[in-house]
Amino acid sequence: MTFFRLPLLVLLSLVATRAGAWGVDGHRAIGRLAEYHLSRRARREVKALLGPETLVMASTWPDEIRYAPEFKDTAPWHYVNTPLGLDRAAYEQALKAQPEANAYTALQAQLAILKDKTKPQADRTSALKYVVHFVGDVHQPFHTGRAEDQGGNKIKVMFRGKETNLHSLWDSGLLDYQGLTYTEMGYEYNKGISGSQVRQWQQAPLTQWLFESYQDAERLYAEADKNPDFDYRYYPAHAELLKLRIQQAGLRLAGVLNEALK
C-alpha cells in the first residue's frame, strides 16, 4: 500500500468545510434547492460560468479556500455581528453602519461583480460561488450572532449527552442528526412550497433575511441561557426552523440568480 502526505492547504480545506454555516450538507442542499428553481436563462449562465461544476459543488468553495493565506481577508465575509435586543429599524441601522466587511456588504459586492458582464469571467465565476455560499450563510441564525461569543462558538452546550457549542450545533450537528444526504434534503425540502410562498420569500430584501436570522438567534441564545443541556427533545422542537431557513435560502438564492443573470 502506498502512503502519501496531503498538502497543508488541502488538509486545511478539509477542516474548513465543516466550519462554515450549515456545513457541507446544508450548503449543498441549498444549492440543490436553488437548481430546482432556476430560470432557463440563469441555468445557461451558471453553466457558462461554472462549466462542469454545479451550484451544489460550488457552494462550499468559499469555506474551502478561506484558510489559505491569499484568502484570509475573506473570513469576516461569512457573518455579521450586532448586539442583541434591537428592533427591525435599529437592526438595519446597526447593520448599515458597520465599517468593516461582513456578510451583508460582501454579498452585495459579489452580486454586483456577478451582474457586471464587463468583468473577467474568472471574477464573475468566483463571485457566483461567493453569492451561492453567502446566501446560505446569512440564513444560519448564528452567523448573525454576538461578537463577544463569536456567534455562539463560545457557548458550550450538550446535545444528547455530547459536548458541542451552539454555533457548531446549528452549522452541522442538527443536520447530521436528521440523517439526510444533501441530495435527499434538497428533494424533500422542495416539496409543498407554493408559488405564492416562493414569491413572498424572494421579494423580501436582504436586510429582512438577516433580521430573520437575528431574531432566531435571540431565541436560541435565550434557550441555551436557560438550559444548555439539550436532550432528545431539542431536534424535534427545532426541525421546522432548520428546514425553513434552508428552504428560504435555496429559494432566495434562485431568485437572486434569476435576476442577476437574466
pLDDT of 120-175, one tens digit each?
999 999 999 999 999 999 999 999 999 999 999 999 999 999 999 999 999 999 99
- Render pLDDT for 176-223 as a digit per residue (tens, 0 to 9): 999 999 999 999 999 999 999 999 999 999 999 999 999 999 999 999
User: Crossing angle, helix 23-36 and helix 182-189, to 10 degrees?
Assistant: 40
pLDDT at 54 over 90: yes
E strand intervals along 73-169: 156-159, 162-165
Per-residue pLDDT band for 7 (boundaries 50, 70, 90) equals very low
201 falls within a domain = yes
The reported pLDDT for the residue numbered 21 is 74
- Decide if pLDDT at 10 tops 70: no
For residue 111, give the CATH number of its domain.
1.10.575.10
Residue 1, domain member (yes or no) = no
- Say if 19 falls within a structural domain: no
Q: Does residue 18 lie within any of the structural domains?
A: no
Q: Which residues 6+ apart lie within 8 Å of 18 measured at CB?
A: 24, 171, 172
Confidence of residue 20 (pLDDT cuts 50, 70, 90): low
d(CA 29, CA 12): 23
Cβ-contact 28, 57 below 8 angstroms: yes
Residue 89 in grid coordinates: 429599524
Q: Which of 6-15, 99-108, 198-207 has the lowest mean pLDDT?
A: 6-15
Cα angle for residues 80, 84, 87 (degrees, 5° grid): 95
Q: In whole angstroms, give the CA distance from residue 116 to residue 123.
A: 10
Residue 3, in any domain of the structure? no
Residues 157, 228 contacting (CB under 8 angstroms): yes
* Average pLDDT, rounded, for the chain: 92
Residue 38 lies in a domain: yes
pTM of structure: 0.91
Instruction: Examine residue 131 and state whether it is found in any structural domain, yes or no.
Output: yes
Domain assignment of residue 205, given as a range: 25-77+88-260
Query: Would residue 127 count as lying in a domain?
Result: yes
- Start-to-end CA distance of the chain, whole Å, equals 52
Would strands 162-165 and 229-230 be described as parallel, antiparallel, or unpaired? unpaired
Q: Which residue has the cell 437574466?
A: 262
pLDDT beyond 80 at 11: no
Q: Which residues contact 32 (CB under 8 A, 6 or more apart)?
A: 55, 56, 182, 183, 185, 186, 187, 250
**pLDDT in the model for residue 36:** 96
Query: How many domains does the structure of the chain reveal?
Result: 1
Higher pLDDT, 116 or 7: 116
